[in-house]
Structure 1
């Protein structure tokens, strides 16, 4: 199977899995996008090597957040707690953006199993949003 066919098949299975829980859109670049509890997420497929196709999920936990030492401390604490994803903090001109990224080998996973993995990641992202963003904003 070609790389394009492999990644297309992987995204088709991922779409099937996600549509059990969310409305899913296919972006111009082929990535899948959806929202989970107010957290925008994007899912891409790529083949890193022959026989190693992965899905890469990025969830934007918060964006344009003002610098806040309490949030930074919470982010550092939570970074070591998670099994499903890596937290990132990017400083921009408008503030800080927090992302949760998770890349994993997914070829051969059936839609129900893949859906379970994806929901573990996005539920972590929505919990992080609640803990890191909404509480410090007072809502």
Structure 2
């Protein structure tokens, strides 16, 4: 039986190798992976939910400090309804609205190629949504 620490470390190592085919990736002290794609900061974490079920969690900060306006919420809701890899989330802060895209999936046993493709689908979606919202 493997330990949770070993499972998550192996999963993060696989994710790092998969992502480094496309991006420059940093590893934080706790093993978390951080990187940016088209000005969208992202973080990948791993956790074991049960024996034999380890998942990767990818969070991308699509936009921050956006005006807290109905048009922004409507745009986000419309984009979320189009179906994407991940879930768009809106957080209201003192400075406006922050938008994240989150995606968690069982990743244990995925080869580097498919894992990289899946991660980049989510990251590319986050960058596309950012471009649409900011008009870039």
What's the TM-score once normalised by structure 1's chain length? 0.94
Partner residue, 2:113:
112
Provide the rounded CA distance (Å) in 2 between the counterparts of 1:14 and 1:71: 32
The reply to whether residue 76 of structure 1 matches residue 72 of structure 2 is no
Partner residue, 1:24:
25
CA contact (8 A) 2:33 2:43 kept: yes
Shift of 1:27: 1.4
Q: Output one character per residue of 1:74-107: Cα deviation in whole Å (capped at 9) or x when no partner.
A: 1011112223000000001111100000000000
CA contact (8 A) 2:61 2:99 kept: yes
Partner residue, 1:103:
104
Partner residue, 2:34:
33
Gaps spanning 5+ residues in structure 2: where?
A: none
CA contact (8 A) 2:43 2:60 kept: yes
Q: Output one character per residue of 1:54-92: Cα deviation in whole Å (capped at 9) or x when no partner.
A: 000000000111112222111011112223000000001
Cα RMSD, aligned residues only: 0.9
Partner residue, 2:55:
54
Shift of 1:43: 0.2
Partner residue, 1:43:
44
Gaps spanning 5+ residues in structure 1: where?
A: none
What's the TM-score once normalised by structure 2's chain length? 0.96
Provide the rounded CA distance (Å) in 2 between the counterparts of 1:119 and 1:84: 10
Shift of 1:110: 0.7
Q: Output one character per residue of 1:110-131: Cα deviation in whole Å (capped at 9) or x when no partner.
A: 1111000001000000000011
Q: Which runs of 4+ in 1 moved over 2 A?
A: none
